[in-house]
């Protein structure tokens, strides 16, 4: 994997005249909105982006907290890995809920600012894959129930974390899910090609992946992207009640039942690996570099409008 990514570092750095991965254009004057977002990033750089709260020994909450947009980057990986390892190994935990502390954003795409080597230099995880797909596979197979509570945007990595979890519940009014990558000439790397057809069928999976557009909570429920969409005012109460209920049950019964469901429904590790390989290949293509560079110019990672309406902006990239 690192051999391919090493080539990508050179190509990407050349394309954007800077070392950071898909860095924005040089010399552009940032908007007030951009300055505000950059200031938040600087002030929170040392703040944990993934917090684990043990509500009880059997019931945990994982809080995603990287304002302003909950972007996932190489600095997030060891934090999430620590949580996944705890979920796998703790003898008492039975159910874990993932939620966001950032208004409007559950978890979004990968961070395009750091040097690519910060990601490619990471050692593979226990599955032998890059740490990101590795953690998603391990979460799916852990002997613990994982639930995501989606309020706001779950894009790219956020969607892939949701798909890797056992259950997904969404705010009917405020949830937005998407696999945006094809709109930027990328291939998704966290396994949605292997997971989505199993949830919603081939045609709808292709609509989500190739349409690369935003899917609201109500449509996500109808398509099977999430278990249920609930009125926003009811989401927290429902998820809390379900998690607490499961936490009262026998852990061995939970683990054995989940293991048998996994055997019947989860993709094999090579299916996830092939998706990651396709992502790496897509990163090296000039078409992807050009589109990401254009999105960065428009305000990707700095503009609340671009991050909040990413489906709209990726849809404009191919227009003349």
Q: What's the confidence (pLDDT) of residue 130? A: 92
Average pLDDT over the chain, rounded to whole?
87
Taking only the tens place, the pLDDT of each residue in 285-306 is: 999 999 999 999 999 999 999 9
- pLDDT of 107 > 60? The answer is yes
Q: What's the confidence (pLDDT) of residue 18? A: 33
> 3-state SS string over the chain?
CHHHHHHHHHHHHHHHCCCECCCCCCCCCCCHHHHHHHHHHHHCCCCCCEEEEECCCCEEEEEECCCCCCCECCCCHHHHHHHHHHHHHCCCCCEEEEEECCCCEEECCECCCCECHHHHCCCCCCCCCCHHHHHHHHHHHCCCEEEEEECCEEECHHHHHHHHCCEEEEECCCCEEECCHHHHCCCCCCCHHHHHHHHHCHHHHHHHHHHCCCEEHHHHHHHCCCCEEECHHHHHHHHHHHHHHHHCCCHHHHHHHHHHHHHHHCCCHHHHHHHHHHHHHHHCCHHHHHHHHHHHHHCCCCCHHHHHCHHHHHHHCCCC
Q: Walk across the sheet containing 105-107 and list its strands.
A: 105-107, 153-155, 176-178, 215-216
CATH numeric code, 46-273 = 3.90.226.10
Q: For residue 74, give Cα distances in angstroms to 24, 78, 111, 114.
A: 18, 8, 8, 8
Cis peptide before 265 (omega within 30 of 0): no
Nearest to 71 by CA among 301, 297, 289: 301
Query: Rounded to an integer, what is the distance from CA 58 to the centroid of its chain?
Result: 25
Q: Which value, to the nearest 10 degrees, does the dihedral of the CA atoms of residues 116, 117, 119, 125 take?
A: 150
Query: Rounded to an integer, what is the distance from CA 229 to the centroid of its chain?
Result: 19
- pLDDT of 317 > 90? The answer is no
Pairing of strands 59-64, 50-54: antiparallel
In the chain, domain spans: 46-273
Taking only the tens place, the pLDDT of each residue in 47-90 is: 899 999 999 999 999 999 999 999 999 999 999 999 999 999 99
Paired with 216 in beta bridges are 176
Q: For residue 147, give Cα distances in angstroms to 26, 226, 256, 284.
A: 41, 11, 18, 34
Q: What's the confidence (pLDDT) of residue 20? A: 45
Whole-number percent of the chain with pLDDT over 70 = 85
Under the banding of pLDDT at 50, 70 and 90, the label for residue 16 is: very low
Q: For residue 161, give Cα distances in angstroms to 4, 132, 154, 287.
A: 24, 10, 9, 26
The residue-averaged pLDDT of 187-193 equals: 96
Taking only the tens place, the pLDDT of each residue in 115-161 is: 777 877 889 999 999 999 999 999 999 999 999 999 999 999 999 99
- pLDDT of 7 > 60? The answer is no
Is pTM beyond 0.95? Reply is no
């Amino acid at each position: 994997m690192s051999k391919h990514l090493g080539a990508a570092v050179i190509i990407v750095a050349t394309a954007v005249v800077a070392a950071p991965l898909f860095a924005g254009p040089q010399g552009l004057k940032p908007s007030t909105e951009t300055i505000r977002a950059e200031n938040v990033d600087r002030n929170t750089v040392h703040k944990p982006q993934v917090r684990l709260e043990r509500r009880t020994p059997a019931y945990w909450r994982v809080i995603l907290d990287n304002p302003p947009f909950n972007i996932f980057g190489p600095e997030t990986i060891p934090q999430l890995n620590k949580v996944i390892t705890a979920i796998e190994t703790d003898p008492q935990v039975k159910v874990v809920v993932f939620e966001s502390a950032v208004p409007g954003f559950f978890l979004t795409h990968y961070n395009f600012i750091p040097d690519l080597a910060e990601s490619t230099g990471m050692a593979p995880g226990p599955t032998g894959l890059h740490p990101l797909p590795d953690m998603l596979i391990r979460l799916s197979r852990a002997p613990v129930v994982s639930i995501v509570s989606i309020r706001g945007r779950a894009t790219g990595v956020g969607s892939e974390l949701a798909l890797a979890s056992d259950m997904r519940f969404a705010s009917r009014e405020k949830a937005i899910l998407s696999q945006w990558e094809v709109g930027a000439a990328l291939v998704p790397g966290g396994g949605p090609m292997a997971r989505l057809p199993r949830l919603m069928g081939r045609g709808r999976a292709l609509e989500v992946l190739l349409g690369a557009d935003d899917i609201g909570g109500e449509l996500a429920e109808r398509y099977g992207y999430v278990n249920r969409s609930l009125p926003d005012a009811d989401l927290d109460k429902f998820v809390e009640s379900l998690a607490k209920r499961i936490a009262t049950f026998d852990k061995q019964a939970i683990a054995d039942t989940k293991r048998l469901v996994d055997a019947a429904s989860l993709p094999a590790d090579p299916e996830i690996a092939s998706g990651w390989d396709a992502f790496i290949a897509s990163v090296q293509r000039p078409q992807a570099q050009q589109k990401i560079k254009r999105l960065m110019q428009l305000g990707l990672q700095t503009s609340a409008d671009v991050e909040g309406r990413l489906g709209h902006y990726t849809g404009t990239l191919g227009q003349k």
